[in-house]
């Protein structure tokens, strides 16, 4: 055993030695230790440097509230993790931890100079200093701030661990496995309610499990022994799930809670065996019982941050739970009785201890116990200073004045190697407030306690402000019974004896003889906010607690102010002379303790991040070297490079082939909606801008769909398959939204229409063959079919058979070329495609991708919804007046086309642009101006589509320009970073304005 | 995340639903008769109150049915759920 491991306990197995490294040096601890208890057993207190002043800092607590002992784990590996609290991580063989925020080393840290210049860097220093000169910002201030910003190092490699999500439902969820949580869980589970008990530590029992003081007796047993028996009975209950190493992250409305379970964080690397690291539980509970406990408060006095200054109850836990003494010459500094339990515990182990108490006396049993043992108590005294740079060596105390606002008399110096501090207790009301609960301020002991309003959750135990064992047990029993509608249970006749505190005193900021500006009384230890920073903020006019918090950064560190928020509030209230209860609190936001990104995303990483949709022809595209583009969730062939062609070269070749001979496009991704019902024609009349009643069976028609605000929403060709049967196509990206929108209108505005919509996008695969030779290819594929213009004209459809497979052939054109679309059931898509490629071989049929499709459409001035439109374009703006029916009484968006705004003549309108230099290709998105010299520059439009057309042998572009309809022939400019490009407004149809090619 | 009692499917998590904004705004039968202001009132103006609000919801990842819901936006308490076309309850 090491010098500081002075006690054997049942919680740490001292037969099992575990080795670990801290800052590269090897140490030993035992199974059951945390990193913090193992370090302390080796006499190590100094574990980190503070964020701003780089002051040496030691372990201060034993739980999630720890502000100082935050480490980098597994440095320089893909498993590295910053800001891990040493007080929470369980020791395992081979654990590698290192300190943060120090350079070159923890013992000698250059940043420590900040401590010396601290008078010059008070709160708000950044806001005040880095304002001027303005030119310094980019090259000096920002790099400097970035260099010193952040705690720890982010991983640079992908996280190799597996994380999981799971849903769970229960009747009762109990948060916290301390004594009140155990009583609650037992009452619930014994009464046939499906109960889950979660506890963030690896064993149940909270702080009672190591409470072996004779002043705390339940049913004639010491409270820890009684609780031990309760736990072993609890573990036998059938309808209770106990989850240890599981911490509550968030408590949302409707009792929806997130809890993170650590599954393999406590195992050595070689024993994890690829198991899941953490699991995020998504729990829906009928009733929630919060038994989250309380956190001990520090005391705020000059130099209260030295290594060796530890919360009193944590000192007790290290001693009675881990068997580790945090010092051999202890002083306890307190304002309440609970720290006396620590004193008695230390004394009983033969360790020297003295007590400094700001109260004048206390008449409780536990204090009498300490006095009887002969422990020296300095009443009515306060610590005014501490000494020792990397570890506390001594303190100075003085007497308090009558009202506690000053210190009087002589300074008295006392040697020590550990100072245990206790400023009372703060109920953990985080869960309660996260769920929407409100708080009341309780004057007598200066705590915020939950006000019970909810029918679906209660708070019990010390998180509800019940600090004394007797009231805690009785109140928990009564509250839980009432909450769960239970009449009797085994805790009704329980007898509890405990020490009771009657003298209470609290001073938020302890007085000193030296002026405040020369003291460092830390409130937020991690962010280095001191009492004088808070007062400075108040002097500078910040009044709201939320503003003071942000100005001083109090409570904004990774511990989220678990130790600091109450003192900040208290000092604000005292300074401003207002009642603390009237200030409110800052907002408690989830997560309660930081969550790993891995736990948040679970399995949704890599290829599971989002669905990938592939057409049935996808494999062929891959084999033929296609480059893909994401269109919504679809993977669409973008272009098919041959022999190291780049995008431009491939697209030029594909576009030329499609116009000169034949091209083939996989159009399977277009949205397809099957529309049936006796009112199908009327329905189309209402949703499209053009008329549909007279469309013959077997005919196709292009339709434009607007939003109710008159803006173009989607387009596509719809085919009339039968009297009451249509097949609508939509854009690839718009398919799901169009279906939703149509369903919305059908269900809510026009429930009288007899129409049924079914998405059939995935049901059919589509090969679209275009070009002057497409008809010949179709004739080869379907030798028995007549493809003459008379029997199979443009915009019509026919059924056909290929290889015994039924298919639909639509003669419709995406590109302005003679063109056919063949639709088959998806499972035959690839075979159809291969047939088309084989039949087209003699015509050098060329597969083309989305880029070529866009180019071909741009040549013809066919808009692409989403590229040439952006939700602010009406059909009139797009010069598509021809498709807007004047005769129809109504359709979606019609009325909006006559609003004063949509009728403005200076709206952005679709035009063509030609560059002076035919080889100059404009950038899509580039802004367009009419006057170069005008200041400020007036941007009158932007380029929406731009290509080099191999068929016209020049650059073409579509653009939207204010008042563009009347600007044909006008010269405009496209200013780029290095030059201005001269352009001329042209017709937006660049090729085949007479539509001859469609019947070529 | 609240639980919504879909009138067709029963209780489901909120993540299965999408909200369609204020309920009981009827599309005018004769839009062409309306002034710009009247049309704008239908098209753009929506209430966003702190308190009890009548809303349209869609069971988007379920039965895909639209229905109406009365929700208190200040605490997410759901007072009523009813089918399209049914009379709104008095809250």
CATH number for the domain spanning A34: value is 3.10.20.440
The Cα–Cα gap between B33 and A939 comes to 37
Q: Determine which helix (DSSP H) or strand (DSSP E) holds A173, and give its type and residue range.
A: strand A163-175
Q: What is the mean pLDDT of residues A65-90?
A: 93
- What percentage of chain A has pLDDT greater than the value 90? 84
Which pLDDT value is given to residue A558? 85
CATH number for the domain spanning A661: value is 3.30.1360.120
How many CB atoms sit inside 10 A of residue A135's CB?
Answer: 8
Tokens of A922: 């404009």
- Are A568 and A614 part of one and the same domain? no
- Are A318 and A290 part of one and the same domain? no
Asked if the Cβ–Cβ distance from A899 to B39 is below 8 Å, we say: yes
Q: Which of A256, A708, A747 lies at the smallest CB-CB distance from B43? A: A708
CB contacts of A708 in chain B (<8 Å) are: 27, 43
Q: How many helices (H) and strands (E) does chain A have?
A: 24, 50
How many CB atoms sit inside 10 A of residue A881's CB?
Answer: 12
Asked if the Cβ–Cβ distance from A894 to B56 is below 8 Å, we say: no
61-90 in chain B: CB under 8 A from chain A: 64-66, 75-76, 84-85
* Interval A815-854: pLDDT, tens: 999 999 999 999 999 999 999 999 999 999 999 999 999 9
What average pLDDT does chain A have?
94
* Interval A812-822: pLDDT, tens: 998 999 999 99
CATH number for the domain spanning A920: value is 2.40.30.110
Which pLDDT value is given to residue A581? 84
This model of the complex carries an ipTM of: 0.97
- Are A483 and A620 part of one and the same domain? no
- Are A318 and A456 part of one and the same domain? no
Asked if the Cβ–Cβ distance from B1 to A894 is below 8 Å, we say: no
Which pLDDT value is given to residue A229? 97
pLDDT of A23 above 80: yes
Interchain contact B58–A (C-beta under 8 A): yes
Q: Determine which helix (DSSP H) or strand (DSSP E) holds A384, and give its type and residue range.
A: strand A381-387
Domain-located, residue A567: yes
- Domain assignments of chain B as residue spans, ordered by start: 3-83
Domain-located, residue A197: yes
Asked if the Cβ–Cβ distance from A253 to B76 is below 8 Å, we say: yes
Asked if the Cβ–Cβ distance from B36 to A900 is below 8 Å, we say: yes
Which pLDDT value is given to residue A149? 65
pLDDT of A147 above 70: no
- Are A944 and A882 part of one and the same domain? no
CB contacts of B67 in chain A (<8 Å) are: none
Asked if the Cβ–Cβ distance from B2 to A747 is below 8 Å, we say: no
- Give just the sign of the alpha carbon dihedral A77, A82, A85, A86: positive
Domain-located, residue A133: no
Q: What is the mean pLDDT of residues B51-57?
A: 97
The Cα–Cα gap between A384 and A60 comes to 19
Q: How far is CA A10 from CA A225, A320, A345, B11, in A?
A: 12, 10, 16, 47
CB contacts of A900 in chain B (<8 Å) are: 36
Q: What is the mean pLDDT of residues A23-35?
A: 96
Interchain contact A436–B (C-beta under 8 A): yes
CA-closest candidate to residue A350, choices A364, A330, A334? A330
- Are A760 and A856 part of one and the same domain? yes
Q: Determine which helix (DSSP H) or strand (DSSP E) holds A736, and give its type and residue range.
A: helix A735-744
Tell me, letter by letter, the H, E, C secondary structure of A862-911. Answer: CCCCCCCCCCCCCCCCCCCHHHCCCCCCCCCCCHHHHCCCCCCCCCEEEE
Give the minimum alpha-carbon distance from B82 to chain A in angstroms, rounded to a whole number: 13
Asked if the Cβ–Cβ distance from A747 to B56 is below 8 Å, we say: no
Domain-located, residue A727: yes
- Are A626 and A762 part of one and the same domain? yes
The Cα–Cα gap between A869 and A480 comes to 61
The Cα–Cα gap between A300 and B10 comes to 55
438-497 in chain A: CB under 8 A from chain B: none
pLDDT bracket for residue A941 (50, 70, 90): very high
CA-closest candidate to residue B73, choices A585, A740, A436? A436
* Interval A645-700: pLDDT, tens: 999 999 999 999 999 999 999 999 999 999 999 999 999 999 999 999 899 999 99
CATH code: domain B3-83 is 3.30.2270.10
Tokens of A252: 């949302």
- What percentage of chain A has pLDDT greater than the value 70? 98
Domain-located, residue A7: no
Contact between A814 and A849 (Cβ < 8 Å):
no
CA atoms within 13 A on the CB side of A553: 17
Q: What is the mean pLDDT of residues A273-281?
A: 92
For an interface test with A, the pick among B1, B16, B63 (most A C-beta atoms closer than 10 Å) comes out as B1
pLDDT of A115 above 80: no
Asked if the Cβ–Cβ distance from B84 to A436 is below 8 Å, we say: no
pLDDT bracket for residue A452 (50, 70, 90): confident
- Are A320 and A444 part of one and the same domain? no
Asked if the Cβ–Cβ distance from A744 to B64 is below 8 Å, we say: no
pLDDT of A31 above 90: yes
Domain-located, residue A508: no
Residue of B nearest to A758 (CA): B64
CB contacts of B60 in chain A (<8 Å) are: 740
Which pLDDT value is given to residue A517? 83
pLDDT bracket for residue A950 (50, 70, 90): very high
Q: Which residue range forms the structural domain that includes residue A86?
A: 13-125
* DSSP secondary structure, A58-127, as one string: E---SSTT-SS-EEEESTTSTT-EEEEETTTSBP-TTEEEEE-S-SB-SSSBGGGHHHHTGGGS-TTHHH
pLDDT of A144 above 80: no
Number of domains present in the structure of chain A = 6
How many CB atoms sit inside 10 A of residue A63's CB?
Answer: 22
The Cα–Cα gap between A632 and A37 comes to 53
Domain-located, residue A341: yes
Q: What is the mean pLDDT of residues A709-728?
A: 97
Domain-located, residue A146: no
Give the minimum alpha-carbon distance from A169 to chain B in angstroms, rounded to a whole number: 12
37-56 in chain B: CB under 8 A from chain A: 39-40, 43, 56
- Are A279 and A405 part of one and the same domain? no
Strand stretches in A805-883, DSSP E: 805-811, 819-825, 846-847
CATH number for the domain spanning A540: value is 1.10.10.1100
CATH number for the domain spanning A493: value is 3.50.50.60
- Are A785 and A672 part of one and the same domain? yes
pLDDT of A362 above 70: yes
The Cα–Cα gap between A191 and A240 comes to 11
pLDDT of A453 above 90: no
Which pLDDT value is given to residue A129? 67
- Are A714 and A785 part of one and the same domain? yes
Sort A285 into a burial class: Cβ within 10 Å, 0-12 / 13-18 / 19+: buried
- Are A415 and A391 part of one and the same domain? yes
Neighbouring-strand partners of residue B66: B58
């Amino acid at each position: 055993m090491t010098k500081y491991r002075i006690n054997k306990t049942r919680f740490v197995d001292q037969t099992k030695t575990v080795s670990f490294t801290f800052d590269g040096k090897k140490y030993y601890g035992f199974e059951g230790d945390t990193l913090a208890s193992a370090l302390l057993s080796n006499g190590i207190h100094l574990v980190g440097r503070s964020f701003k002043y780089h002051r040496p800092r030691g372990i201060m607590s034993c739980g999630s509230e720890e502000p100082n002992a935050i480490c980098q784990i597994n440095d320089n590996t893909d498993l590295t993790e910053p800001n891990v609290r040493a007080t929470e991580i369980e020791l395992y063989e081979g654990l590698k931890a290192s300190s943060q925020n120090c350079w070159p080393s923890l013992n000698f840290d250059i940043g420590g100079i900040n401590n010396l210049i601290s008078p010059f860097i008070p709160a708000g220093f950044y806001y005040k200093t880095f304002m001027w000169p303005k030119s310094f910002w980019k090259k000096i201030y920002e790099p400097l701030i970035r260099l010193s910003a952040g705690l720890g190092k982010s991983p640079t490699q992908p996280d190799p661990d597996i994380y999981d999500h799971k849903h769970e439902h229960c009747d009762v969820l109990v948060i916290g496995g301390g004594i009140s949580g155990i009583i609650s869980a037992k009452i619930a589970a014994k009464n046939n309610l499906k109960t889950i008990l979660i506890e963030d530590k690896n064993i149940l029992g909270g702080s009672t499990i190591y409470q072996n003081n004779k002043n705390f007796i339940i049913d004639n047993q010491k409270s820890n022994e009684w609780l031990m028996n309760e736990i072993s009975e609890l573990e036998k209950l059938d309808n209770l799930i106990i989850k240890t190493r599981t911490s509550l992250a968030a408590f949302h409305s409707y009792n929806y809670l997130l809890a993170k379970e650590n599954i393999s964080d406590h195992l050595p690397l070689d024993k994890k065996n690829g198991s899941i690291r953490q699991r995020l539980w998504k729990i829906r509970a009928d009733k929630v019982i919060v038994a989250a406990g309380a956190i001990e408060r520090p005391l705020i006095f000059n130099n209260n941050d030295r290594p060796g200054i530890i919360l009193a109850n944590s000192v007790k836990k290290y001693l009675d739970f881990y068997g580790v003494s945090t010092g051999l010459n202890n002083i306890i500094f307190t304002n309440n009785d609970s720290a006396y339990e620590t004193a008695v515990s230390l004394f009983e182990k033969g360790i020297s201890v003295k007590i400094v108490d700001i109260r004048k006396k206390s008449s409780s049993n536990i204090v009498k116990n300490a006095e009887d043992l002969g422990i020296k108590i300095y009443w009515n005294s306060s610590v005014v200073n501490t000494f020792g740079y990397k570890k506390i060596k001594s303190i100075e105390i003085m007497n308090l004045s009558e009202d506690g606002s000053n210190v009087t008399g002589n300074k008295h110096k006392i040697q020590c190697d550990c100072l245990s501090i206790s400023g009372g207790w703060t109920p953990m009301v985080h869960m309660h407030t996260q769920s929407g609960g409100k708080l009341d301020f309780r004057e007598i002991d200066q705590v915020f306690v939950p006000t019970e309003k909810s029918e679906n959750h209660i708070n019990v135990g010390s998180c509800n402000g019940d600090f004394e064992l007797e009231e805690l047990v009785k109140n928990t029993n009564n509250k839980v019974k009432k909450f769960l509608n239970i009449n009797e249970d085994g805790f009704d006749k329980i007898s509890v004896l405990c020490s009771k505190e009657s003298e209470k005193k609290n001073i938020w900021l302890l007085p000193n003889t030296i002026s405040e500006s020369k003291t460092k009384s830390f409130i937020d230890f991690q962010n280095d906010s001191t009492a004088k920073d808070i007062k400075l903020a108040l002097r500078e006019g910040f009044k709201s607690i939320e503003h003071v918090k942000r100005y001083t950064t109090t409570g904004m560190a990774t511990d989220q102010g678990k130790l600091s928020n109450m003192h900040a509030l208290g000092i604000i209230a005292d300074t401003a002379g207002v009642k603390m209860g009237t200030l409110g609190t800052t907002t408690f936001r989830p997560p309660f303790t930081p969550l790993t990104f891995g736990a948040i995303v679970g399995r949704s990483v890599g290829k599971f991040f989002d669905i990938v949709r592939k057409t049935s022809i996808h494999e062929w595209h891959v084999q033929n070297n296609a480059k893909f583009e994401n269109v919504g969730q679809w993977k669409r062939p973008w272009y098919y490079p041959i022999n190291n062609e780049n995008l431009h070269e491939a697209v030029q070749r594909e576009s030329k082939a499609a116009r000169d001979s034949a091209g083939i496009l996989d159009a399977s991704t277009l949205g397809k909606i099957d529309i049936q019902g006796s009112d199908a024609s009327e329905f189309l009349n209402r949703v499209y801008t053009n008329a549909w009643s007279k469309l013959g069976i077997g005919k196709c028609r292009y339709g434009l769909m607007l939003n109710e605000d008159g803006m173009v929403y989607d387009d596509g060709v719809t085919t009339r398959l039968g009297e009451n049967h249509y097949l609508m196509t939509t854009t690839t990206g718009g398919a799901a939204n169009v279906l939703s929108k149509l369903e919305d209108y059908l269900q809510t505005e026009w429930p009288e229409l007899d129409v049924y919509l079914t998405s059939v996008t995935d049901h059919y695969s589509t090969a679209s063959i275009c070009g002057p030779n497409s008809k010949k290819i179709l004739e080869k594929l379907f030798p028995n079919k007549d493809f003459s213009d008379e029997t199979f004209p443009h915009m019509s459809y026919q059924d056909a058979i290929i290889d015994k497979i039924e298919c639909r052939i639509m003669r419709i054109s995406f590109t302005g070329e003679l063109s056919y679309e063949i639709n088959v059931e998806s499972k035959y898509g690839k075979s159809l495609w291969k047939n088309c490629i084989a039949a087209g071989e003699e015509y050098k049929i060329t597969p083309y991708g989305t880029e070529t499709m866009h180019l071909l459409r741009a040549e013809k001035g066919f808009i692409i919804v989403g590229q040439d439109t952006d939700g602010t374009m009406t059909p009139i703006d797009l010069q598509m007046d021809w498709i807007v029916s004047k005769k129809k009484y109504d359709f979606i968006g019609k009325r909006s086309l006559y609003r004063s705004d949509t009728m403005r003549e200076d709206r952005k309108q679709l035009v063509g642009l030609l560059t002076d230099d035919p080889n100059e290709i404009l950038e899509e998105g580039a802004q367009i101006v009419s006057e170069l010299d005008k200041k400020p520059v007036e941007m009158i439009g932007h380029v929406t589509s731009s290509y080099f057309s191999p068929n016209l042998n020049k650059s073409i572009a579509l653009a939207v320009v204010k008042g563009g309809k009347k600007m044909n022939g006008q010269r405009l400019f496209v200013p780029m970073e290095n030059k201005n490009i001269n352009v001329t407004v042209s017709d937006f149809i660049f090729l085949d304005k007479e539509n001859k090619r469609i019947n070529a | 995340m609240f639980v919504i009692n879909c009138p067709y499917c029963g209780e489901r998590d909120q993540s299965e639903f999408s909200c369609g904004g204020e309920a009981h705004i009827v599309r005018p039968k004769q839009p062409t008769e309306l002034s710009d202001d009247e049309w704008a009132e239908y098209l753009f103006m929506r209430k966003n109150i702190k308190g009890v609000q009548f809303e349209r919801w869609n069971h988007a990842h379920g039965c895909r049915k639209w229905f109406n819901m009365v929700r208190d936006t200040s605490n997410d308490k759901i007072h009523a759920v009813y089918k399209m076309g049914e009379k709104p309850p008095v809250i």
